[in-house]
Every structure is written in C-alpha cells, then in structure tokens.
Structure 1
Amino acid sequence: MKTSLYHERILELADNAEYVRIIERPDREASGTNVLCGDRVSIQLEMDRDEIRRLYYQVRGCLLCRASCAELARIATGLDRTRLKVLRDALERFLRSPGNGSTIPPGLHVFEPVRAHRSRHRCVLLPYDAALQALSDPDI
C-alpha cells in the first residue's frame, strides 16, 4: 500500500494531459465545484447513444482532483449513467471504509492513501459527480 498522499502514480496521473481539452460540440457537459477547497471541474462527453464514447475535461484544482479526472477519462469509455453511478458509489465506499476495495477497478486503488484524509474525498469524487450531472441533464 502506498502511504504518501501524493505518491508517484498520483503525480503521473495529475500530469497526464491526454484528455484535457475543450471540444467544440460535446454531446453532454457539466461542471462541478468543491466549495471546501475551490477545485473546479468541467466535463465534456462524446456519446454513443447512452454510453460515453470519450470523456474530456478541464480542471482547476489540486493534484488529487486532476489525477481523478485523468483516471476517470481513461476508464469512462462504454459507461452509461447507471454504471458510472455504481462506479462512483463504489469509489466513495472504498474511500470511506476499510476493506479490500474489490468492487473498484484496479486503477482506482491509487487513491487508497486518500482514505485517511476525509476532507480530500470530495477532491477525488468531484469528476464523477460532474460526469453524472452531464449524463442527467435532460436539456442536452
């Protein structure tokens, strides 16, 4: 288990700019803000019917929020709203409770050190909440 909050893999993810961009005509989009620390995430989705084809983002925030955006963008392809909600809730349970984390994809175990820092859980969950909001908006 990695113990440092900002260990090497978190730093690598936070620096990953593969999906950091603004697209001209997203199928869905939403933004979210963490009022405790000021993190701000904008999510844009390209959709294939009800499933995410590609997730792009802009983030002004801490390393944890940036890393979470990058990991979500990597694993979002093929998720619909229901599966994204299940993933988000599993990640929240993983952060809040001890256990083996067997219900989350292996890439999300990178956030294990965040468990001990409750005030930082929202930094990790913010991209998921913004993506869920984008998938929930009936006006788009």
Structure 2
Amino acid sequence: MNAPLYNTDILRLAASIPHHERLSDPMGSSEKRSPICGSRVTVDLNLTDGRVSEIGMLVRACALGQASSSLFAAHAIGRTPEELIAARDQLTVWLAGEGPLPDWPDLDIFTPALAVTARHPSIRLAFEAGADAAAQATV
C-alpha cells in the first residue's frame, strides 16, 4: 500500500460534510468519541416510515473522522436502522481485516488506513453514532 493516509480525496470529503447542523428535536441521538485522539461525532436523526428522513451532525474530529462522517451523512438518508447497523458492523469487520469492503459508497477511500489500526476508531465514529441513534429512534 503506497497510497498516503491523508490524501486529496480524504481531505476533500473532510471539508464537505453534509447535514452538518444538529436537529432541534431528533427521534434518536448519539455521540461517540475516540479515546485515542479525542475525535467526537454526534449524529441526530429522524425516521419516517422506518427510514432515515433527516440527519444532523456535529463533527469534531480528525480528517479521517470528518471524511467518514461525510460519507455516512451523504448516504444515510433513505436507509433503515437495520441497514445502518449492518454498515457499522461491516465497517468494523473490514477495518479489522476480517471481511469484505462494506456495501456503502466510497468506503474504499479508507484502504490506506487498514494497516493503521490506531485510526480505525475515528473512521468508525459516525457509523457507530448513526447506528445507535437509529436504534433509539425505533424505540
């Protein structure tokens, strides 16, 4: 793997997080923090007919956490809570080198980070918070 960890694509995503303001009255909300670097991501969401209809985020993270948050937010609308939970679990398995690339657009951008296990918690933050917020919203 010769690709740099912090490449132009990662930095571009990090600078363009959609849905970057919190929701005023979310059905589900979760904050996750990486103990390694202190990155923090909060995801708020609402469901309509069992699918994500609105999402809001507060992202205070490193470039990898920001880029992952950007990918999560760009593709979460319309997904079911079960799909968000599956994406979180698949991402965790893939980063650990124990499974295939998750079925989520553009996650292959993190391939250079596979060998840098200290960065994995930051990459997982938005997916973990999103899955937890979706589970809360279904209660």
Q: Determine whether 1:83 maps to 2:77.
A: no
Q: Residue 107 of structure 1 corresponds to which residue in structure 2? A: 106
Q: Residue 66 of structure 1 corresponds to which residue in structure 2? A: 66
Give the whole-Å Cα distance in 2 for the aligned partners of 1:47 and 1:68: 22
Q: Residue 122 of structure 1 corresponds to which residue in structure 2? A: 121
In the TM superposition, what are the counterparts of 1:12-27 in structure 2 within 5 Å? 12-27=12-27
Displacement of 1:92: 1.9
* Range moving further from structure 2, 5-14 or 41-50: 41-50
Question: Deviation string for 1:17-40 (max 9, x for gaps)?
Answer: 431112222222111111121111
Q: Name the Cα RMSD after superposition.
A: 2.2
Question: Deviation string for 1:79-115 (max 9, x for gaps)?
Answer: 22211111112222222217762x4234111111110
Say if 1:106 and 1:30 are closer, same or farther in 2 by CA, change over 3 A: closer
Q: Give 5+ residue unaligned stretches, structure 2.
A: none
Alignment-mate amino acid for residue 86 of structure 2: V
3-state DSSP of counterpart to 1:116 = coil
Alignment-mate amino acid for residue 39 of structure 1: S
Q: Residue 134 of structure 1 corresponds to which residue in structure 2? A: 133
Q: Determine whether 1:41 maps to 2:41.
A: yes
Does the aligned pair in 1 maintain the 2:84–2:134 contact within 8 Å? no
Give the whole-Å Cα distance in 2 for the aligned partners of 1:122 and 1:97: 14
Does the aligned pair in 2 maintain the 1:72–1:128 contact within 8 Å? yes
Q: Scaled by the length of structure 2, what TM-score is found?
A: 0.88
Say if 1:2 and 1:46 are closer, same or farther in 2 by CA, change over 3 A: farther
Displacement of 1:136: 2.2
Say if 1:49 and 1:38 are closer, same or farther in 2 by CA, change over 3 A: same
Which consecutive aligned stretches of 4+ in structure 1 deviate over 4 angstroms post-superposition? Answer: none
Give the whole-Å Cα distance in 1 for the aligned partners of 2:90 and 2:98: 12
How many residue pairs match? The answer is 139
Q: Residue 53 of structure 2 corresponds to which residue in structure 1? A: 53
3-state DSSP of counterpart to 1:72 = helix
